[in-house]
Amino acid sequence: MFSFSINTGSKKTLYSDLLVALKELLSEEGDPVANMANTAALLWTYIPDLNWVGFYQAIRSYLILGPFQGKVACVKIPYGRGVCGTAAATGRIQCVRDVHVYPGHISCDPSAASELVIPIRGRQNQILAVIDLESPTMGRFDTEDVEGCSRLMEALGPFLG
Ligand code: SME
């Protein structure tokens, strides 16, 4: 099946190996849901200290829950609401040190303390989805996580549309 190996020794090796693995996964199948599902599983397996990782797809003026790993989550988020809705509406990455002080944060899993949301752009540069990573640790995500996950989503985007 797949033949990748992930060196989790540092964030540098982790994200570099995850990018190689993701490109191998994405070359196997063109369906967007399959690609998001495997991406969520890959990240959930190898990125430490997460309580949730998954996708919300941009459908008209809402974000609709897509493939994810973790506890059940809210299904529909209006553009501009919460961390995910803000990322989708502004097109800007949201790296939140403490979700409890983020205005309008939507709490699906009360164990979440910090959050990273990255807009995902397709071939025409349009925002198709966001990925949401949540951690029970305050300040879990730093610039290496932002850059590493951004590279991953740049690789995934063209496979979503
Ligand atoms: N915390 C997110 C909502 C999504 S879930 O918690 C999985 C937000 O504020 O947008």
Cut 0.85: pTM above it? yes
**DSSP string across the chain:** --------SSHHHHHHHHHHHHHHHHTT---HHHHHHHHHHHHHHHSSS-SEEEEEEEETTEEEEEEEEES---SEEETTSHHHHHHHHH---EEES-GGGSTT---SSTT--EEEEEEEE-TTS-EEEEEEEEESSTT---HHHHHHHHHHHHHHGGGT-
Q: How far is the CA of 5 from the centre of ligand 1 (A)?
A: 30
Residue 28: per-residue pLDDT: 63
Mutate to test the pocket of ligand 1, among 106, 109, 111 (most ligand atoms within 8 A of CB): 106
Pocket of ligand 1 (CB under 6 A): 52, 73-74, 77, 82-85, 105-106, 108-109, 115, 132
| pLDDT at position 58 over 90 | yes
How do residues 11-41 score in pLDDT, each as one tens digit?
A: 999 999 999 999 999 976 679 999 999 999 9
Determine the topology of domain 11-159 in CATH. Beta-Lactamase (3.30.450)
